[in-house]
Amino acid sequence: MIAYLPSLIGGVMIGGSAILFLMLTGRIAGISGIIGRLAEAKGIAINAGFVVGLMLGPILYLVLFGAFPQVSIAASLPLAVLAGLLVGFGSRMGSGCTSGHGVLGLARLSPRSMVAVVTFVLAGMVTVTILRGSL
Amino acid sequence: MTSKAIQTTAAALLSGTIFGFGLSISGMLDPARVQGFLDVFGAWDPSLVFVLGGAVITAFAGMALVRRLPKPVLADHFAWPDKTRIDLPLVLGSALFGIGWGLGGFCPGPALAALPLGYGKSFAFVAAMVIGMVLHNRVFARRGQ
């Protein structure tokens, strides 16, 4: 279980950040919403502030631990582009992603978010199972 | 900028930094681990359960504090989501999102946070994601919203 402690600690920080943002600004820390509004040039200061912070996070990690976190991207370039299009279009259509629905929606016991999370987790599981030929 | 606007931007910057640092510690910047969680019939990686579990429990506890506040510190009111119906766009959009999430192993937060690491495919993903968002808004604006 100790191997998953960083994941748990990281999760606690993510939840804490979302609550801090909500208490200070009154807004839900939904990343797809933040990027979507930024793409429409709405609320530039607050949304750009969050996005810049999001990118400072791993830089702070680099400063503290001497290396960036481990990342390996298995998808080819065309697949990464297709994935991006689906994630962008789908998250706006479904009014949220893993942060808005997944973290705050579930914490608020929102029925819409529960349906969204079950739907995207199942769709993701089917996709990866087919992609990797796991069955 | 008014002093309140500067405070709001600083609050967003601070919250975003904690969020991005939490994502970095959690291991969720790595698409391989996200896909590992989704690969329930293969080499299953439960990390995401701990990340989401830790985040949801913390946010659930924090909601008790939020409900005690008459209004946010830097705004006049809380901007709660106004939609309550479970409708087709919610389910269809979430399904499309889930397929994209599985294909790439990236969702919006980690994809943005991974940009400073300098992988070309992260940039391609984020650019396509923004195009997908703009495309969605164009399509639905035309339907006369």
Q: How many residues belong to chain B?
A: 145
Nearest to B128 among A71, A88, A124 (CB): A88
Q: Look at residue B145 in the predicted model and tell me its pLDDT.
A: 43
Mean model confidence pLDDT for chain A:
97
Domains contained in chain B, number: 1
CA distances from A57 to A53, B79, B109 (A): 6, 25, 11
pLDDT on residue B55: 98
Of the candidates A9, A58, A77, the beta carbon closest to that of B113 is on A58
Mean pLDDT computed over A9-38: 97
Residues 26-85 of A with CB under 8 A from B: 26-29, 31-32, 35-36, 39-40, 45-61, 68-75, 77, 79-85
What is the domain range of residue B48? 3-142
Give chain B's mean pLDDT: 95
A8 vs B17, B54, B97: nearest CB? B54
Residue B21 clears pLDDT 70, i.e. is over it = yes
Write phi, then psi, for A76 (nearest 5 degrees): -70, 170
pLDDT of residue B141: 75
pLDDT over threshold 60, residue B102: yes
Q: What is the mean pLDDT of residues B126-131?
A: 98
The amino acid present at B61, given as its one-letter code, is A
Q: What is the pLDDT of residue B54?
A: 98
Contact B124 A84 (CB under 8 A): yes
ipTM of the complex: 0.97
pLDDT band at A135 (very low <50, low <70, confident <90, very high): confident
B62, two tokens = 């924090």
A77-86 per-position pLDDT tens digit: 999 999 999 9
Per-residue pLDDT at A113: 98
Q: What are the residues whose beta carbons fall under 8 Å from the beta carbon of B124, sequence distance 6 or more?
A: A77, A80, A81, A84
Chain B residues with CB-CB distance to A4 below 8 A: 46-47, 50
Contacts of B71 by beta carbon, 8 Å cutoff, 6+ apart: A26, B77, B78
| Residues B33-89: tens digit of each pLDDT | 999 999 999 999 999 999 999 999 999 999 999 999 999 999 999 999 999 999 999
What confidence tens digit (pLDDT) does each residue in A88-120 have?
999 999 999 999 999 999 999 999 999 999 999
Q: For A63-80, what is the mean pLDDT?
A: 98
- % of chain B at pLDDT higher than 70: 97
Residue A125 pLDDT > 70, yes or no? yes
Residue A61: list chain B partners with CB under 8 A: 21, 24-25
When pLDDT is cut at 50, 70 and 90, the band that residue A87 belongs to is: very high
Mean pLDDT of B2-20: 96
Q: For residues B39 and A126, give the distance between their C-alpha atoms in angstroms, rounded to a whole number.
A: 8
CB contact under 8 A, A83 and B128: yes
Residue B144 predicted with pLDDT over 60: no
Question: In this complex, which of A39, A94, A131 lies closest to B94 when CB atoms are compared?
Answer: A94
Mean pLDDT throughout A62-71?
98
Q: How confident is the model at residue A1 (pLDDT cuts 50, 70, 90)?
A: confident
Task: Identify the pLDDT of residue B121.
Answer: 98
Q: Inter-chain contact A86–B62, Cβ cutoff 8 Å? A: no
Q: A103: which chain B residues are within 8 Å (Cβ-Cβ)?
A: 52, 55-56, 59
Task: Please report the sign of the dihedral spanned by the C-alpha atoms of residue A10, residue B94, residue A85, residue A37.
Answer: negative
Q: What is the pTM of this model?
A: 0.96
Please tell me the predicted confidence (pLDDT) of residue B143. 56
- Whether B16 sits inside 8 A of A123 (CB atoms) is no
